[in-house]
Amino acid sequence: MPDAVKAYLESRPRWIRWREWLAGRRYALAIFPDRPKPVVVVAHSRRDAVKALEMVRAIERDWAEAPQECREAYEKILENSPKLVIIQFRRTNICGCLGHRHMIVKEPPFAEPHDALGGDPAGELDIAFERVESWLALPLSDIALDTQFAAGSRLRELQAARLRLQLLSILLHEINHMVRSQEPETSIRARSLAFYREALARYVENAKATLSLTIDRSFSRFEQD
């Protein structure tokens, strides 16, 4: 499927691709490493390419490193998701929200089903990554982690990992809405926050295990808590 998406994008008329390129529109593809679908297309501005790659990394790497029980909570949801999911990856939303599921696909290359992509309709959502960067998903624990990491060299790594896990949890949240539109928001939110909480805890656990406490003081307070 990823190869089919790439081939489709490259097969469009040259004038369309040039117009898209001059407008600064870019597409990055990502796949969950343990399943055939969905294939995720991160539609972004050229100036936001670095942030878009963080979204790709979240899907292709951070998902696999999350605890198995967290991934299993989304097993049936991803199994029943659209084969192709488009993320309109933008800096902000006018409404101030982190992201939305779209009822119709707005990204031009994917607005209509194509035989080259299996003929199935895609799903679409948007994520406002600057809004996500300022969001504390779990305020008390997020602030506490910042404090624990502040004395050492791993604070930036923690913040980058936390952003990726936030982006990933929002993506999963919105796919949940696509697949189970009648499920209460409270249930969907609880599932995505649980994924974020447990995945972040696993990251911290792995970081502690791979770092010498005598060299980097980032974790000097963990043993005291």
Range in 7-16, 86-95, 138-147 with the lowest mean pLDDT? 138-147
Residue 62 lies in a domain: yes
pLDDT of residue 172: 96
Count structural domains, the chain: 1
- pLDDT interval class at 127 (50, 70, 90): very high
Determine the Cα–Cα distance for residues 117 and 15; give it in Å rounded to an integer: 21
pLDDT mean across residues, the chain: 85
Residue 45 is encoded by which pair of tokens? 């501005």
Query: d(Cα 99, Cα 171) in Å, to the nearest integer?
Result: 9
Residue 224 within any structural domain of the chain: no
- Look up residue 71 and give its two tokens: 């991934």
Distance of CA 173 to the CA centre of its chain: 10
Using 50, 70 and 90 to split pLDDT, how confident is the model at 117? confident
Domain assignment present for residue 225? The answer is no
Residue 223 belongs to some domain of the structure: no
Query: Residue 211 pLDDT > 70, yes or no?
Result: no
Euclidean distance between CA atoms 151 and 112, whole angstroms: 52
For residue 107, the enclosing domain spans 2-217
Query: What pLDDT is attached to residue 140?
Result: 46
Tokens at 47, concatenated: 């100036």
Please write the tens of the pLDDT for every residue from 157-208.
878 888 999 999 999 999 999 999 999 999 999 999 999 999 998 888 777 6
According to the model, what pLDDT value does residue 221 have?
45
Residue, of 150 and 181, whose pLDDT is higher: 181
More confident: 156 or 131: 131
Tokens standing for residue 170: 């929002």
